[in-house]
Amino acid sequence: MRIRHIAIFSAAVLAGALAGSLLGPHPAAAVNREMIDLQRDVTSLLQGQKELSDKVIQDHTVMRTLVEQSGDNVTKLAATMGSLQKSVQDVQANSGARLDTMSTQVQGLSDNLEEIKSRLGKLNQQLVDLQNSVQSLDAKISGAAPSPGTTNPAAGSAKPIASVGSPPGSSVIPVGAPSADTLYSNGLRDITSGKYDLARSEFQDYLKFYGDTDLASNAQFYLGEIAYSQKNYDVAVAEYEKVISNYPKSFKLAPARLKRGLALIELGQKPAGVRDLREVVKRYPGTEEDRRARAKLKELGVATTPTR
């Protein structure tokens, strides 16, 4: 029995040794394979990390370049906007003067038209007077024919034809002085071309020598326009006042009152200027002066009519 146990034990030991000899190397090989796989994974991870780092650095460089370019573009845009703003400010500053110059030129053309109409009216009246004189002379000749060689007394009674440019009641004109037509035309030409000092002298001479003609109020108005264009607003107010006071039938009353109001506002006398502008709206509805007065009142933030 004992021998049997010894034999079984020996067999078991032999079997264990054999199993150990057969199975012993296998766990070491598995560990080696896992280590190799782990090293390969770590290497791949490190490589991926390096590639990711390189990508981040590259992207950061690109982003920094884009930011710098954006900053340069913003700087250029700011400079462009500043230049544009300055240009707009210059245009706004000059728009008023340009509008006044255009208004003066338009008024000059209107005055030329009025002058032509006035001359045509005078010529028509002269033709009527001449026709009446001829008819009267024919009637006298038909009633009592004079003998040959006898002077016709009616011939000396015909009404003389006044020459254009020499209105009745004008001041004594010195020898060599320009005619009314020459002075007025030259004044209009010089004021529209910006030769204000020369135009002022011509219009002053016109008023001095031909102050009772139909265009005298125009000459007076343009003296105000010259002072306004040269920013002598106190002088402009006085000149416009003469148009309003001395020429109650002048067609320059509306522009004179408008420009007097604008000059008063430029002088800081806003209430007086607003009164003039409201008066233009009240007296001359539908005119260009009415439109300009309303626009200025709106700009000032006041109503076109006084509030109760």
Can you tell me the distance from the alpha carbon of 186 to that of 94, in angstroms, rounded to the nearest whole number? 26
Tokens found for residue 128: 């009527």
Which is higher by pLDDT, 40 or 202?
202
3 state SS of 180: helix
CA 281-285-289 angle, to 5 degrees, is: 65
- Mean pLDDT (whole number) for 21-25: 51
Asked whether the beta carbons of 115 and 184 are under 8 A apart, the reply is yes
In the predicted model, is pLDDT for residue 22 greater than 60?
A: no
* Res. 4 pLDDT band, cuts 50 70 90: low
Alpha helices in the chain (DSSP H): 2-23, 25-143, 180-192, 196-210, 216-229, 233-246, 253-266, 270-283, 288-300
Asked whether the beta carbons of 175 and 135 are under 8 A apart, the reply is no
Can you tell me the distance from the alpha carbon of 247 to that of 235, in angstroms, rounded to the nearest whole number? 18
Position 224 scores a pLDDT of 97
pLDDT in tens, 100-123: 656 665 666 666 666 665 666 566
Cα Rg, the chain, nearest whole Å: 53
Q: What percent of the chain has pLDDT over 90?
A: 39
Tokens found for residue 52: 């990711």
pTM equals 0.51
Can you tell me the distance from the alpha carbon of 266 to that of 279, in angstroms, rounded to the nearest whole number? 18
* Res. 304 pLDDT band, cuts 50 70 90: confident
Neighbour count for residue 186 (Cβ, 10 Å): 19
Tokens found for residue 259: 């420009």
- Mean pLDDT (whole number) for 72-78: 77
pLDDT in tens, 187-209: 999 999 999 999 999 999 999 99
3 state SS of 193: coil
pLDDT in tens, 232-287: 999 999 999 999 999 999 999 999 999 999 999 999 999 999 999 999 999 999 99
Position 161 scores a pLDDT of 33
Which is higher by pLDDT, 141 or 147?
141
Locus of tokens 């030409």: 189
Position 277 scores a pLDDT of 97
Amino acid letter, residue 252 = K
In the predicted model, is pLDDT for residue 167 greater than 50?
A: no
